[in-house]
Structures are given as structure tokens and as C-alpha cells.
């Protein structure tokens, strides 16, 4: 596992749970508004990582203080040993939340089928026809659709979420995202943070006002059971 960061405790990242956060290195998207651009390359700048064994020992020492672990990135499903790593976390007795962009439905299906996940958060970043502008890459349409269906059809708690950026998202795009996840239980709208973005120009862009987020929420409510604006 290429683990580039650890946050000891979070009250925000795993709903209703106190969790540690593990950040993996490497992402196959290049979203211009990404606020963790240092995690996009396959290798860290100094090619140094947290020892997996030390991370597991740390998690053992925190059991009782935390009850869950969030694995995020980067894109965690790029890690070839992710499944084995999660198995070790489950042995400790902690719940696991996975953050993913949905680009690896094969591994996602395996994790679901082997009952290794307690919560999945999938970023649905854009309508499929706008993947180049918003993801910075192409060729992921089928994988994204497959992952959405896998998650919707599982018995695992989940959320879909979209980080909205004034230069990239509008009412029409949010409607298309709603259609993409139609029939799902839960969607979160997240306002982007105009700092430390992959595209430096976006750090100059002002985030959406609350009134605009409410309009997006009303659009998505036509397609999704529960829609929430996450601050």
C-alpha cells in the first residue's frame, strides 16, 4: 500500500462514526479543482510512504477511541493490495468506509462480495459526456455506470456526492448527474474549496453562494431520495 498520509481522528468523514483517515497515493483522474493534487501522481515527491505494519499498529492502538477507518486518496482502488489491507483492518474490528471515483468496478465488486466494506462514498463528478472537462481524462464512462449500479444494488450504506465548481457545473449538468444516479438513496452536494487546486486558476474562482446550492438540491431531489448540502 502506498500510504501518503494519516489523519488520526475525524468527526466529519464517516457519518455517525469517529474515524481515522488513510490517504493513498495515486489517482487516475486529474480533476482541475482537486484540493489534494500532491496525491495524484503514482509516486510521492520523495517516494516515501507510511509503513503498512505501522499504520495497522496505530489503528490497533486507537481502537476504542475510533470505531472506523476511511480509506481515501488519491484513488484507493488503484492499490493492488487494497483488499488484503482492508481484511487486516477488519480483523482489528474497525468499520471501513471507502472513498472512490468509481473507475475500478471489478475491485469494487470484489470488496462488496467479500463483505469488506461498511460504507461507500462515490464521487459522481460530471455528466458522462463532460468527463474530459471535469475529470481531466476520458475513457471511464462504462466503469462509472457499472460502479453506480453495483453500489445501488448492494446492501451497503452508501452515498453519491458531487463537488460543484462555478466554472464547471450548472443546472443542466446537475440534472444530468441526477439522471445518472436516479433511484439512489443519498446524494451530497459539496461546494468546492478555492485553494490548493490542481488548476491554479480555480483558486481565484469564488465558490457558489448558498442560494445556488439550494437550486441544485431541488434539481437532484427529482431523482434521489435524500439530497443534502454538505458544508
Q: 60-69, 125-134, 196-205: which has the minimum mean pLDDT?
A: 125-134
According to the model, what pLDDT value does residue 138 have? Answer: 84
According to the model, what pLDDT value does residue 184 have? Answer: 97
**25: preceding bond cis by omega (within 30 degrees):** no
Q: Which band of pLDDT confidence, cut at 50, 70 and 90, is reported for residue 23?
A: very high
Q: Which CATH class is domain 3-230?
A: alpha beta
Q: Which band of pLDDT confidence, cut at 50, 70 and 90, is reported for residue 137?
A: confident
User: With contact defined as beta carbons under 8 Å apart, do 190 and 164 qualify?
Assistant: yes
Averaged pLDDT of the chain: 95
Residue 195 has pLDDT above 80, yes or no: yes
CA 188 – CA 16 distance, rounded (Å): 15
Q: Which band of pLDDT confidence, cut at 50, 70 and 90, is reported for residue 46?
A: confident
Q: Which band of pLDDT confidence, cut at 50, 70 and 90, is reported for residue 130?
A: confident
Look at the pTM and tell me if it is higher than 0.75: yes
Q: Which three cell numbers stand for residue 35?
A: 484540493
Where exactly are the structural domains of the chain?
Answer: 3-230
According to the model, what pLDDT value does residue 43 have? Answer: 84
Q: Which band of pLDDT confidence, cut at 50, 70 and 90, is reported for residue 135?
A: confident
* Mean pLDDT to the nearest integer, 57-80: 97
- Alpha carbons within 13 A on the beta-carbon side of 1: 29
Residue 44 has pLDDT above 80, yes or no: no
Residue 47 has pLDDT above 80, yes or no: no
Amino acid at each position: 500500500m502506498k500510504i501518503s498520509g494519516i489523519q488520526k481522528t475525524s468527526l466529519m468523514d464517516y457519518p455517525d462514526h469517529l474515524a481515522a483517515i488513510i490517504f493513498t497515493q495515486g489517482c487516475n483522474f486529474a480533476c482541475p479543482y482537486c484540493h489534494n493534487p500532491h496525491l495524484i501522481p503514482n509516486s510521492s515527491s520523495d517516494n516515501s510512504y507510511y509503513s503498512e505494519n505501522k499504520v495497522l499498529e496505530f489503528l490497533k492502538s486507537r481502537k476504542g477511541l475510533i470505531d472506523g477507518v476511511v480509506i481515501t486518496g488519491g484513488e484507493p482502488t488503484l492499490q493492488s493490495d487494497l483488499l488484503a489491507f482492508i481484511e487486516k483492518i477488519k480483523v482489528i474490528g474497525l468499520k471501513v468506509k471507502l472513498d472512490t471515483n468509481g473507475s475500478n468496478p471489478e475491485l469494487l465488486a470484489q470488496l462488496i462480495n467479500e463483505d469488506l466494506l461498511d460504507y461507500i462514498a462515490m464521487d459522481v463528478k460530471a455528466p458522462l459526456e463532460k468527463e474530459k472537462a471535469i475529470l481531466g481524462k476520458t475513457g471511464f464512462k462504462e466503469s462509472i455506470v457499472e460502479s453506480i449500479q453495483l453500489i445501488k444494488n448492494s446492501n451497503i450504506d452508501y452515498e453519491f456526492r458531487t463537488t460543484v465548481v462555478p466554472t464547471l457545473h450548472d443546472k443542466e449538468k446537475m440534472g444530468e448527474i441526477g439522471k445518472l444516479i436516479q433511484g439512489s438513496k443519498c446524494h451530497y452536494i459539496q461546494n468546492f474549496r478555492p485553494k490548493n487546486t490542481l488548476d491554479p486558476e480555480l483558486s481565484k474562482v469564488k465558490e457558489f453562494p448558498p442560494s445556488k446550492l439550494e437550486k441544485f438540491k431541488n434539481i437532484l431531489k427529482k431523482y434521489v431520495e435524500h439530497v443534502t448540502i454538505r458544508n
